[in-house]
Structures are given as C-alpha cells and as structure tokens.
Structure 1
Amino acid sequence: MLRRITSLLCLSLAGWHAQAQTVLDPALIERVRQLAETAARATAPPGTRVAVETGQLDPRLRLAPCQQVQPYLPPGMAAWGRSRIGLRCTDGVARWNVTLPVRVAVYGRAVVASGPLPAGVNLSQEHLALADIDIAAEPGAVFTDPAQLIGRTLARPLGAADALRAPALKSRQWFAAGETVQVLAVGPGFSVASEAQALSAGIEGQDVRVRFDSGRIAAGRAVGERRVELPL
C-alpha cells in the first residue's frame, strides 16, 4: 500500500512539474510583448498607438526545463491582429520550439460608417465619420480622409461605426475594352510613357492586356482613369 501511495505521489508531482513548464516567467512575457510591439510599430502609421495582449501556451504541452528562452517572430507571421510569437529553448535539457498566441491592436483615427449602410449604397459625406478604432482588428486597409470615399460604392453592408476598409468597396472600372489608355512602363531608375489599346475592361487593381500600335501585346495593371502600369 505504501509503495502504491508513493508511486501515485511521484506521478502527481511529475505531472505538476510538466504543467508548470507551460507557465512562463513574467520577464519572458515582457520580452514577448516588447518584440510584438516593436514589429507592429515598424509598419504602423504615424500617430497610432500599439497595445499587445499575450495569451497562454497550450496546457497539453510538456516542455523540458530551459535556462534560456529566445522569443522571435516566425517568418511570414503577421505583426498586427491575432498572431503568434515563437519561443525557442536555446539552453536546456532538451531543445524545443513553440509559439505563443498574441493579439496586437493598433489604435488610430480612421473613417467609419456614421450609421448602418446597405450594400450598393453610393457613399456621400453624410454616410461617413471619423473615429479612433483598432485598425488591426480586421484585414484590409482603412482610410483616414473621407474625401477619398465620396462616390465609391459599398460591396457589402456595414454596421454603425464599422471601419470603411478596402475590401468593403466595389472595385472601380477605370476604362472599357477598346479604349485608348496611357501605359507607363516602369523599370529600375526609369519610366517610359506610351499609348495602347485596352483589350479588356480595366478594373481597379486587376491585370489587363493592352496592344501597342506595333501589334505587341503586354500585360499591366489598371491603376487609374485610362492609365495602366507596366512593370519591366
């Protein structure tokens, strides 16, 4: 009986010790927060405020004791919104590598809907307002000047105080197929302007093919009213 009790006690202590490895040192949490904040500030617009909330490691993890843990931002991981910071053991009984969830908020002034707006509405000044929001809460660029949105059409409905983000707007058609367009060929340190005929409609931000007077056909991107940019 004594042997059984001792065994159970040892197992309990071992389980407690393994679980304790998922509780991170406050100093390490602060390093994680500073790393996430620095990464966010590198791309945040001027005048914005960054706030970082750290989550917890998966309680099912069983990490070996480690004397030195290095936090890092994994390649390709977003610096805004819901993301993860890597934690790498560089000095311990066993080398391990895990990620810790973080939420990075970037507060700034942006254009929002002044009230509920249905899809298809043609935006006017009365539909728009300015407010301090978390611009990292959702994907898509925000706007800081209401004048940029006057005349644009909503692709989906918005609630009151929802941010006006690029994905919520219908793409504009800059020109129709058959129209003559200005083509700007851009290369390292130079640019050349010429005219061509559009072979399809020029939708904002989408690729379009054009034909030059010589008969050569090239693909560029519709960037403005009867304007195409052709990277070289």
Structure 2
Amino acid sequence: MPRAAWAAVAAVLLLAGAGGAQAQAPSAAEPGVDLAPLTQRWLNDAMARNQPAGTALRMEVSVGSLDPRLRLAPCARVEPYLPAGSRLWGRTRLGLRCVEGPTAWNVYLPVTVKAFGPAWVLTGPVAPGAVLTADDATQAEVDWAEESAPVMAQPEMWVGQVAARQLMAGQALRQAMVRPPQLFRAGAQVKVVAQGPGYAISSAGQALSPGGVGQIVRIRMDNGRIVSGTVNENGTVVVAL
C-alpha cells in the first residue's frame, strides 16, 4: 500500500479512536515525511479496538485512490473524519478535508476493511424451511466484514434453526440466514401470560402471525384487544406489563 494511503487511513482510525484528534499533514513547502511506521502502529491499535467483543480477528485494510483529475490546493493541516453513517467495516470511505490552507477542500477516499476469523460454512445447499443440523456446516476462516449481517460463530446459534431462504454451499452462516423454528401458525389459539411486578395472569388468544422462540408476535385476546408479546420455548406468549 502506498505510504500516503497508510497515512490517511491511520489518521482517520486514530481520529475515530481518540475522539477528535486532528492529523497533521506536512505543508506543501516541507519535504515528504515517512509516516509509514507510525501510521502502521496507529492502524494496528485502531483495528484491535474495533474488533467485536470476544473475537480475535485478522484485520486487513486496502485503500483506494483519489480521482487523478483532482488538483488539491496546498494544505498545512488535513482533518480526516468518518462520514455520517459510515463505520470501519467492509466497504466504506473516509473523508479528508483541509482545515488550514488558502483553499478549503473536502474529498473522500474509498477504504475496504476485512476481518478474517473462524466461522461456520455450509457444506451443501439447504432448502428454505429446512432445520439446520451440526452436519450442515464446517469451520473455516472467512471475512466477517464481507456482509453486514453478523456471523454466527458458535454452533448453538444456528443448530436447530430454520433456513430463512435458499442457502448455498460455501456460504458462511449469518444471522439473516436463519429464523427460529415455528411453534404455531397464524390463527392458532395460544397461551398468553401477562406479567407485571409480582404477578402473572394467564389467558388465551388468537395468533395474528406465526411464532417462533424469541419472536415478537401480535395476539388478539377474547375481548378483541390486540397485544404484543415474546414467544418462549414452550410456545407461550409473554406480555410484559
């Protein structure tokens, strides 16, 4: 990676981790400064801080190029920043703006952050609605940041779950790919428990949608009132009051 690219990325990562520190760029009259060793340390520290809790991911960063047609004015101080809605994960971008120079400018630099770590990869296709078993996937290293949906790194997170859509061999299992097994259908009579401080009241109602463990569903009670509650492992809908 070019030294200038390392410097830009490290600066924005330092900014994100240090709460607003500004990166100092050499002025146009100064000779080039070798920031590679320092920025590499910044980058390593920032990547370590941005890892998901409880994981040890191997982070990689690749930096794109600015439009070669750009002709930026000399600048004594460049401030890197993360644009609103951006994060240091997957395909993203960082902003660079001149805050001390004869002409103010603002540009964006494409950045790709990869995070390699262990995940469970499907060994064959899985049809929609099929229940996943331990034999359906094997462990392999994948790029966690390739998609926005979180990786399910532990077998208990996906074994026994149902494929939410057609899944293909080689895909890493992620949260958006599975759903809890259905415990009741829309229209079924279900037990409803309304819980409050120190008491619980049991009743019955009609499910307005299918329900699985952990899902929030709407229930029409006998008096016509519609309530929302969470399905527990027994298929009971728990309503918090």
Mark yes or no: TM-score above 0.5: yes
Match of 1:119 in 2: 127
Greater mean alpha carbon deviation, residues 116-125 or residues 127-136 = 116-125
RMSD: 3.5
Aligned residue identity for 1:79 = L
Shift of residue 151 of structure 1? 2.9
Distance change >3 Å, CA 215–CA 167, structure 1 → 2: same
Distance change >3 Å, CA 221–CA 43, structure 1 → 2: farther
Match of 1:31 among 2, 6, 11: 11
Match of 2:138 among 129, 136, 141: 129
Match of 2:37 in 1: none
Match of 1:180 among 190, 194, 199: 190
Distance 1:191 1:94 in 2: 66
Tell me the SS of whatever aligns to 1:66: coil
Distance 1:135 1:164 in 2: 10
Match of 1:46 in 2: 54
Is the 1:44–1:106 contact (alpha carbons within 8 Å) kept by the matching residues of 2? no
Distance 2:218 2:99 in 1: 53
Question: Are 1:216 and 2:196 matched, yes or no?
Answer: no
- Deviation track 1:138-189 (CA, whole Å, cap 9, x = no partner) reads 12121122233223333123223x2011222256434333433446779xxx
Structure 1: gaps (5+ residues): 1-22
Distance change >3 Å, CA 86–CA 129, structure 1 → 2: same
Distance 1:152 1:229 in 2: 21
Is the 1:83–1:103 contact (alpha carbons within 8 Å) kept by the matching residues of 2? yes
Distance 1:224 1:112 in 2: 27
Distance change >3 Å, CA 118–CA 215, structure 1 → 2: closer
Aligned residue identity for 1:123 = L
Distance change >3 Å, CA 28–CA 229, structure 1 → 2: farther
Distance 1:26 1:149 in 2: 38
In the alignment of these two chains, the number of paired residues is 205
Is the 2:206–2:221 contact (alpha carbons within 8 Å) kept by the matching residues of 1? no
- Alignment map for 1:121-200 (pairs within 5 Å): 121-154=130-163, 155-160=165-170, 162-170=171-179, 172-176=181-185, 177-182=187-192, 195=202, 197-200=205-208
Shift of residue 84 of structure 1? 0.7
Tell me the SS of whatever aligns to 1:126: helix
Tell me the SS of whatever aligns to 1:136: helix
Shift of residue 56 of structure 1? 1.2
| Percent of paired sites with the same residue | 35
Tell me the SS of whatever aligns to 2:146: coil
Shift of residue 72 of structure 1? 1.0
Greater mean alpha carbon deviation, residues 88-97 or residues 52-61 = 52-61
Match of 2:75 in 1: 66
Aligned residue identity for 1:112 = V
Distance change >3 Å, CA 180–CA 98, structure 1 → 2: same
- Deviation track 1:15-49 (CA, whole Å, cap 9, x = no partner) reads xxxxxxxx947533432355576378446232322
Aligned residue identity for 1:60 = R
Instruction: Give the number of the structure whose alpha-carbon radius of gyration is greater.
Output: 1
Tell me the SS of whatever aligns to 1:94: coil
